[in-house]
Chain A
């Protein structure tokens, strides 16, 4: 059962239990919504951008431990970063969870986000981990639509 412990690492469980920056931001300059139709996870991301810098960030929503912890840790990591810095972190995080060959990423830059590296052993859960990051990307790029982890619809009884 070691692989389960690799997925549900202490830090992930802790952020799931007490998510950081987990509140509505009434004076947000940008909002972005993420949705995973597979499990119904929904996430609202609030951003306060100041001169191309993420001055403040918070989120709200319901989701599994992986998606909640990922969103929580993401907010602590990108707060204070420039848009470009945040976007390269998004890129690194995506690459860490992709199993494609040659997807090299900067492990040092990801730092404690390495706790999510075990997620790629659970393909069905990768979308849970990346939901917040896709949503952040759309918020930064100001794509005014709900980010879905699925391109098309899902329909399982």
Chain B
């Protein structure tokens, strides 16, 4: 981590959510006659005008294919496209720009590593370690890889607070461990995992480590060199950028040694019917015309986030989380699921006598968007013996007043259900 400590919390340095939200045009509308309170940020985030403008500008004035034409527009499009790659390189503090591969999102990044690295490096009896906090997208690709190779999937168990049990992890590690794949932050509970420690422990057994940063990058600073992870993936739409775009960071020497994931245009340097020479990094992994406007939008989103400052975002969201946690704790019949010491701004909870789905419907009628369900993390739900939770996932454009509106909304739930 570039800086684990948060910025000092005082009124001068604290972000102002109510001012920031003016950058997001979606908040000018009302939902069911009420101002929109958007608490589903772990599913996807809203987009600032700067991101929308960048994508619009591209289509209105810069549209061309990249890496091909010698004409003016193609050069502009290519330089914008590659500038975004450098932004991501800096954002993650990768050593080289070629270590940044554009993907459709975190899910595709994990699949790429599982299929390209995993299939060429794993054999029967090898082991892949994931954790009990993973999103399905960091479970299923490894299950498939294990089926294909005969490797075995192991899970790091989870404590009652929603923290990974590192002593159990220590016991799982062995010379059979080839890959460790863990989420940086849990989408279901908000737990921020000690990934640096997890990586150091894996190093002793020469295991490769992939970190799923889909939930972490919008909320905390990430430094892949400091973490010393082998792979890091994230999705653009969870960090205020467009859907359908994300990035995979991989150490250059690993990416060099891996075969292409998909094949087609852009990933080749020379083709005859007898033989194809693959392009160099990062293009070897970017087959076909890419999601150019997505890449440009993602670059604009990172500019926006860095403009606010991740330390400041982290500090502000911490105050929101503390306020929300306090309010839910004093609400009769509500139990917070996930009480890890290190937590991002996610409030997962259940209410006695009321199913999360009903909570979500009643809140929606008050303009409050939350998520109810298993959050695509069914093993997490099973661990806590719950079919579902209600989840309010916060962002820097949320405010204390909105959390108060959530609490009022929950009062209404209680009224309806006489709970």
Contact = CB atoms under 8 A, between A and B. Distances in A.
Given A39-B388, A122-B361, A157-B214, A65 B374 contact: no
B362 to A, nearest CB: 6
Interface string B378-419: 100100000110000000000000000000000010001110
Interface in A55-75: 62-66, 68
Which A-B residue pairs are the 9 nearest by beta carbons?
A64-B355, A64-B357, A40-B387, A62-B387, A40-B374, A39-B357, A39-B373, A65-B358, A40-B388
B85 interface: no
Given A13-B417, A42-B387, A157 B354 contact: no
A8 interface: yes
Given A41-B387, A157-B375, A65 B381 contact: no
22 contacts: A1-B412, A3-B365, A4-B362, A4-B365, A7-B361, A13-B417, A17-B353, A38-B373, A39-B372, A39-B374, A40-B374, A41-B357, A42-B387, A63-B355, A66-B358, A122-B361, A125-B357, A155-B136, A155-B137, A156-B373, A156-B376, A157-B376
Contacts of A42: 387
Contacts of B43: 156-157
B200 to A, nearest CB: 28
A40 B416 contact: no
Contacts of A41: 357, 387
Residue from A13, A38, A128, A156 with most neighbouring chain B CB atoms (10 Å)? A156
Contact of A157 (B135, B362, B372, B381): B135
B52 to A, nearest CB: 22
Interface in B103-132: none
A68 B417 CA distance: 14
Contact of A155 (B42, B362, B376, B412): B376
Contact of B416 (A8, A68, A124, A155): A8
Contacts of A63: 355, 357, 387
B238 interface: yes
Contacts, number: 72
A128 B357 CA distance: 9
Nearest to A5: B416
Given A13-B416, A39-B374, A65-B417, 5 more contacts: A39-B387, A155-B136, A157-B43, A157-B187, A157-B375
A5 B361 CA distance: 12
A125 B42 CA distance: 22
A150 B16 CA distance: 42
Nearest to A63: B355
Contacts of A7: 361
B373 A1 contact: no
A41 B387 CA distance: 7
A122 B416 CA distance: 16
A13 B44 CA distance: 32
Contacts of B362: 4, 8
A157 B238 contact: yes
Contacts of A5: 416
Given A157-B43, A157-B376, A40 B365 contact: no
A124 B376 CA distance: 18
Nearest to B371: A156
B408 to A, nearest CB: 12
Interface in B3-56: 42-44
B416 A4 contact: yes
Contacts of A8: 358, 362, 416-417
Contacts of B365: 1, 3-4
B366 to A, nearest CB: 8
A3 B361 CA distance: 11
B134 to A, nearest CB: 12
B207 to A, nearest CB: 26
Contacts of A62: 355, 387
A41 to B, nearest CB: 7
Contacts of B418: 13
Given A13-B418, A157-B214, A65 B355 contact: yes
Nearest to A125: B361
Residue from B214, B365, B373 with most neighbouring chain A CB atoms (10 Å)? B373
A14 B356 CA distance: 18
Contacts of B353: 17
A42 B372 CA distance: 15
Contact of A40 (B44, B371, B378): B378
Contacts of B416: 4-5, 8, 13
Contacts of B358: 8, 64-66
A34 B412 CA distance: 30
Nearest to B359: A64
Contacts of A17: 353
B4 to A, nearest CB: 25
Nearest to A155: B376
A68 to B, nearest CB: 8
Nearest to A7: B361
A17 B135 CA distance: 32
Interface string A1-21: 101110110000100010000
A125 B361 CA distance: 8
A3 B33 CA distance: 13
A64 B353 CA distance: 10
Interface in B54-74: none
